[in-house]
Amino acid sequence: MKPEILQTVYQLVLAGGIIFTALGGYGYFHYSKMIEKNREVTVDTKLDNIPQSINTNNNENTDKVLDAIEDVKLSIDEIAATDGSNIKALSYPPSGEFGTNILDKNSEQYSIGTHSMRAKIPKGQSVIVKVSGKNWSFPVFQSIPGWRHFDNQPDADNPSRKFKSVKAGIIDLEMYLDNKGKIEISVFENGSELPSWEKKLIVK
C-alpha cells in the first residue's frame, strides 16, 4: 500500500477517534444533566427570566432580577424538601404539576380537564386519599412517583379508589375530571381509620 494512502487512512482513523471522544463526552454530560432533570429544568427556566441587560438605575429590571433569584432559591428549597425533611406539616397547595389541586381545602369548583392531586408530606408521615365518583380517571403510568392506588371499588352507583402515599416530600398525581358532576374526597392522615377531613368537588 502506498505511503500516501496509509497516511490518509491514519488521518481518517484519528479524526474518527476525536469525533467519538467528543460524542462520548457530550453523552456523559447529557446523561448527568438528565439525572436531575426536574431540578435543572426548573432552575434554568427561572434563570431565563433574569434580564440580559441589568441597568442599576432601572428599578423594574432590578425587581425582575431579585424576583428571579428568589424563584431560584424557592425551587432549590423545594427540591431539598423532596424527602420531607424540611416540611413542617401536612399541606395541600392550591396547584401542582398538572393543574389545580383537587386536595386544596379552599377550592370546591373545578373545570373539566387535567388536574393535580398534590400533597406536601413531612418525613415520617403518610396520607391515604379516597376518591369516589363516576366522572374522574387517571393515567396508570404516572410521570411523578409518590402515590400507589389500591382498593378499587367498582360500585355501579358510586365507584371509588384509594391512593396511598409511598414516600414523604412533595408528591403529585395526574388526574382527569372527565364530566360534569360531583366527586367525594376523604383524606386519612397518618394511619387514621376515620377521615381526617373530607370535601366535595363540583365539576363544571
CATH number where 176 lies: 2.60.40
Residue 146: inside a domain: yes
The x, y and z cell numbers of residue 114, run together, are: 387535567
Question: Do residues 138 and 196 both lie within one domain?
Answer: yes
Distance, in Å, from the CA atom of 132 to the CA atom of 127, rounded to the nearest integer, reads: 16
Residue 104: inside a domain: no
Coil, strand or helix at 131: strand
Residue 100: inside a domain: no
pLDDT tens column, 138-175: 999 999 889 999 999 988 788 999 999 999 999 999 99
3-class secondary structure for the chain? CCHHHHHHHHHHHHHHHHHHHHHHHHHHHHHHHHHCHHHHHHHHHHHHCCCCCCCCCCHHHHHHHHHHHHHHHHHHHHHHHHHCCCCCCCECCCECCCCEECCCCCCCEECCEEEECCEEECCCCCEEEEEECCCEECCCCCCCCCEEEEEEECCCCCCEEEEEECCCEEECCEEEECCCEEEEEEEEECCCCCCCEEEEEEEC
* pLDDT tier for residue 55 given thresholds of 50, 70 and 90: very low
pLDDT beyond 90 at 10: no
Sign of the Cα pseudo-torsion (138, 139, 142, 144, in order): negative
The average pLDDT across 61-88 equals: 62
Distance, in Å, from the CA atom of 1 to the CA atom of 7, rounded to the nearest integer, reads: 10
Mean pLDDT across the chain = 76
pLDDT beyond 50 at 185: yes
Q: Give me the residue label for grid cell 471522544.
A: 21
The x, y and z cell numbers of residue 94, run together, are: 392550591
Question: Do residues 72 and 114 both lie within one domain?
Answer: no
Domain span at residue 133 reads 109-203
